A = this chain, B = another copy of it.
């Protein structure tokens, strides 16, 4: 096993030392920018964590694939931000906004390719399995984004479809990170599949928590303005659950509130307040907390199939740090 502090400093070193080609700068500068503006590096951290259950030290055969998962995630953010017309990410300009949509397309492409170069550094004896896991996951992430975009033009979405969408868009890459670490660490097929399940449920919990915090979070901790999903009429776990619970008048109120325009700051505030009040009336914030707890529980049950004692504590603590802020 490898200590948490060692994992922390390995993740830090991984991204402060990460190198992309210098030229053409117009192509590669956005890659450096995306890595520099940070984020939690959740996926490489999880990958190194599950690897640490099996091994005692890190080498390039795990560090490079772990970095590849983050590079891939950043690539999807660059392209999602074009499609979602998001001007800001982590408080700074998105790539398409800072450079141009064309640059964002092409730099995203080369970032996707770069992620494969890194995953391809997995050890020879499990390279085909690592690539199969990664490619299957990568395609699913695109499928998730497709469903997410298709949801925009639908008035309501059933909960099972919503969960399937966030499973594809967020769950599978976190699951892949957990399984990748185990695979390269030498885990059995059974252990790998349980760790995938751990990661998948953790990913779902993480996304529901994100949806929850977007409405009920603390702006300083959350890192972006509260109410963004509501202002943009974006479907979230809370909307989906609210329409599931709302009857008659409440459903009509919710539809009307979600359709309010947000041309001015005042209108924006009003819309957020109104939808939030309806959420509170329907109790969907509490429901989200319950859902997060249940998903966390499922993740931990999957983890228990693989390990106990100190090794289980590692996985429990990882989950706690990730979603502990919401329940």
Contact = CB atoms under 8 A, between A and B. Distances in A.
Contacts of A147: 24
Contacts of A145: 106
Interface residues on A, range: 35 or more
Given A124-B128, A146-B24, A147-B24, A83 B112 contact: no
**Residue of A116, A117, A145 contacting most chain B CB atoms (<10 Å):** A116
Interface in A23-82: 23-24, 26-27, 79, 82
Label chain A's interface by main secondary structure. Answer: helix
A150 B26 CA distance: 9
Interface string A99-115: 00110011011101110
A282 to B, nearest CB: 30
A232 to B, nearest CB: 16
A106 B83 contact: yes
Copies in the complex: 2
Interface string A194-224: 0000000000000000000000000000000
A131 interface: yes
A146 B26 contact: yes
A240 interface: no
A160 to B, nearest CB: 15
A112 B112 contact: yes
A159 interface: no
B27 A143 contact: yes
Contacts of A132: 117, 120
A88 interface: no
Contacts of A128: 120, 124, 127
A117 B142 contact: no
B135 A120 contact: yes
A131 B124 CA distance: 12
B110 A135 contact: no
Nearest to A109: B142
Interface string A308-324: 00000000000000000
A83 B99 CA distance: 14
Contacts of A150: 24, 26
Contacts of A83: 102, 105-106
10 contacts: A83-B105, A106-B146, A106-B149, A110-B139, A114-B135, A116-B138, A117-B131, A120-B131, A124-B128, A127-B131
